Amino acid sequence: MSQSNFFKGFMEDTLEQVMSSYADELHGTAASVVDPETGKHALVFVRRIGKDGWVIHTSGSPAFARALEQRLGLNKGEVHGMNEPANRERLVYLAHASEDKALVKPLAEGLMRRGIKVWYDNWEIGYGDSLRRKMEEGLGDCTHFVVLLTETSIRKPWVNEEIDAGLMSAVEGSAKFIGLRHNLPLSSVSPFFKTRLTPEFQPGEEGLDALSGEIYGVSKKPPLGEKPRYVQSHEPGSTWAASARTVAEYFVRNSAHAQPMDPQASYAEIQQETGLPMPDVRIGVLDLIGAGLLEKQEYFGGEGHIWPKSDMFVTFDADFMDWDPEKDARDLAVHLTNLDTDQADANEVGLALGWKPRRFNTAAAYLVSARVVKPIEYMSGDAYWPCGFMMGDELLRFVRSL
């Protein structure tokens, strides 16, 4: 070993011992500080950056970080919290080789245009500034460490030191590590990078959009849609099967006036509208026919049509519409009683209550089905059904019981 190499090695060992001793001293002082918010000792991490730099992180509160800075004689912001708030301002530390400036400067400018602050050495280091000091500040503050991997940069010792610091920040959870390859095959990078996602960076707006999306955490997944009705769970407390409720909802929502035979549909039309598998459509229809809420007409050579009875809307409007047929029926009964007559015209009553036929007809069907009033039916072409009411003592008894 030559004399120069001997002394170089001796100096490096001595420096290492001095730095290690200094780290122990820093940690010992920091560990004696109590978090003013919890009254407990918080964890403190003193991490080496490069040959003679340090960064301090803590799991304690922001108040603890400020107390550490005061105790250690550091400037505000030099002790970093390990759990940054969700709205932490995004700051990219951009590591690169000086030979790649022509590629890196547009990259830095493009991120800035997209609202992302960038630590770029040409912008941060001025005359008389300490290069290492400035880099340590940038590394300590960054939320994202981005390194441009090129044939030139991967051979630069300085860039490799920055990469080590960036990896340390990623391990501590204070920054996300992003490696971008440019004209560099994956086979040329170190084994470490081969185990991480290192996409090929394409200069230009498309590449910048992809990078900024990654930094902002924009999900690449499509929006999560609603699950199909046929996989929805059973309605708690309901005595109806999920398939019957889905078929009922189809008729309730697609009826113009809540009249019998409004609307009419085939099995195929119900399936297309609801997304139910055909066996569930048929079983749901069967359940509702059995309950007296649907009717079906079979045609020779075809499957026929299915339509609702008035009681379909009485039973299910409260589940799928903006009104409650039971409450509306009580209000309608009181109104009919107050007319003090034995007959009433449905159109006049509906207009007086301010209800459109779709809502009025369900309340009317409720009273008719319960035998509270008798319907007057004739071909009028009017949207209100029934056309009128005959009222007797049944109505009086119903209102008295409210």
CA distances from 190 to 150, 335, 387, 396 (A): 12, 84, 85, 90
CATH number of 236-318: 1.10.10.10
pLDDT at 234: 58
How far, in Å, CA of 284 to CA of 276, rounded? 10
Specify the DSSP element, H or E, that contains 95: strand 91-95
Nearest Cα neighbor of 255 from 210, 207, 310 is 310
CATH number of 91-216: 3.40.50.10140
Domains 236-318 and 322-400 are alike in CATH topology: yes
Apex 321 CA angle, 316 and 323, nearest 5: 95
How far, in Å, CA of 325 to CA of 16, rounded? 83
Amino acid at 198: T
How far, in Å, CA of 154 to CA of 189, rounded? 8
Torsion 184-189-193-194 (CA) sign: positive
pLDDT at 86: 42
How far, in Å, CA of 34 to CA of 8, rounded? 41
Query: Is-contact 353 360, C-beta < 8 A?
Result: yes
How far, in Å, CA of 8 to CA of 158, rounded? 19
Per-residue confidence of the chain (402 residues) as pLDDT tens digits? 555 665 566 566 665 676 677 677 777 777 777 788 887 777 777 765 555 566 677 777 888 888 888 888 777 767 766 554 444 578 899 989 999 999 999 999 999 998 889 998 889 887 777 777 888 888 877 889 899 999 999 888 888 888 888 777 776 667 888 888 988 888 887 777 766 778 888 888 888 888 888 887 765 566 656 666 555 555 666 788 888 889 999 999 999 998 888 889 999 999 998 888 888 888 889 989 888 899 988 765 556 789 999 899 999 999 899 999 999 999 999 999 999 899 999 889 989 999 999 999 999 999 988 899 999 877 656 788 888 899 999 999 998 888
Q: Any idea which fold 322-400 has?
A: Arc Repressor Mutant, subunit A (1.10.10)
Phi, psi of 245 (to 5 degrees): -65, -40
pLDDT at 3: 59
Contacts of 343 (CB under 8 A, 6+ apart): 376, 388, 389, 390, 391
pLDDT at 43: 77
pLDDT at 222: 63
Domain ranges of the chain: 3-81, 91-216, 236-318, 322-400
Query: Is-contact 265 305, C-beta < 8 A?
Result: yes
pLDDT at 118: 92
Query: Is-contact 142 119, C-beta < 8 A?
Result: yes
pLDDT at 250: 93
How far, in Å, CA of 42 to CA of 59, rounded? 6
Burial, 305: exposed, middle or buried (Cβ in 10 Å; 0-12, 13-18, 19+)? middle
Query: Is-contact 96 104, C-beta < 8 A?
Result: yes
Nearest Cα neighbor of 132 from 49, 189, 63 is 49
pLDDT at 67: 84
